[in-house]
Structures are given as structure tokens and as C-alpha cells.
Amino acid sequence: MITVHGGPGSGKTALAVRLLAHLMRRPDAALRYVTPSGTLRAHLCDAADNRAANDLFLPASRLRTASRRAGVLIVDEAQRLDRPGGAFPPDLTAAIRETPLVIVFLDERQIIRPREGVTVAEIAAATATSASRTTSPMDERTGQGTDRRIAAGPVRGHTDVPGEHCGQRERVAARRRGLPYGTRTGLASG
């Protein structure tokens, strides 16, 4: 589990898309990109100009399904995920449990509706809880359990992406030329 946090205009989505493009070079990559933003999803599908983009860029309503088929799951705009009954999103909990690597992009300050959003602290807690209760996902071909996680449990890391709103335009532009960028903190296996 990796969380990427940054303010508006900091380049979180640009980083997410670049990371996706980089990972797509691997022939064995099983990637999914999920966002609760219908507008963002529509723009990404249009930019890809490919019918297969609809299976790559998925709405948040398909988060649980996407997690079952993904080796890497990118969740963008996670601050807009629905919290049914005010609880941590159960589909995100399932994704953390079922997907070898989940990368969540969010801005906690952009939580708009009362029943939306997650925080970095909540994601870390859900990841720790999931690590202690991890079940083996089923291999669709054989019907047997497979443990696709790192033996020591899920990786937990956090990156803050400095934003242009902080007056750091030149530094952010320089960092956007390469992957990854931002300040890495707390990367540890757990």
C-alpha cells in the first residue's frame, strides 16, 4: 500500500497516469485505474482513444471487481470515495486485502461531501488490519488459493507531493520530469 497526498494542482493525477504508463510496459502487468470522478474517467478514456481504456479506467463502483483482477491498483481522487454509513469504504478494504499493490492518490483537504473521503491515517490503519487478516485470493484458472503478497505483508509507504499552490512551481515542474517525485517518508514493509 502506498499513499500519495498533495493539494490541488500538485500533479497527483499526472503522476498516477505516468506511473500507469510506466507499469504498462511490463508484459505481465495486471493494472487497473479506479476513480470516483466520472469527469476524470471520461477524459482519460478519451485521451487513450482506445476501446480497451474502458476496462483500464474504471468507476469507483467497480473498485471491488477491479481489485480481484489487478496486480497493481491505482485509486485516484480517493478523497471522493463513498463512505456508506460513515464507515471506511468496504470496497477499499477489499482492494487492500485482495490486491498485491494498491497506490492511493488523495487530497484530504478536498473532501466535499459528509459521506465521502478517506484519510492517510485511515488507510494506514486499514492496511495494518488487513495485513493481520490477509486471505489468499483465488487463482481464476486453477481455483486454488494464491498468496500474491510479499511474505512480510503489504508494503506501506507515503509520499507528499508539493503543490503549485504552495508557491513551488519551478521545483514541482523539475520533479515532474522524472518518476517518482515528492518526499518519500515512512516506506517500510510490515
Query: Which of 52-66, 69-83, 100-114, 127-141 shows the lowest mean pLDDT across its residues?
Result: 127-141
Query: Which of 2-6, 26-30, 140-144 shows the lowest mean pLDDT across its residues?
Result: 140-144
CA distances (Å), 76 to each of 88, 182, 189, in order?
A: 16, 17, 23
Give the integer Cα–Cα distance in Å for 186 and 140. Answer: 34
The pLDDT tens digits for 123-181 are 988 888 766 544 444 444 444 444 443 333 444 677 788 765 444 555 555 555 554 44
The arithmetic mean of pLDDT across residues 82-103, rounded, is: 91
Q: Which three cell numbers stand for residue 175?
A: 520533479
pLDDT for 36 equals: 94
pLDDT for 177 equals: 56
Global pTM value:
0.73
Please check whether residue 6 is in contact with residue 163, taking contact to mean a CB–CB distance below 8 angstroms.
Answer: yes
pLDDT for 170 equals: 52
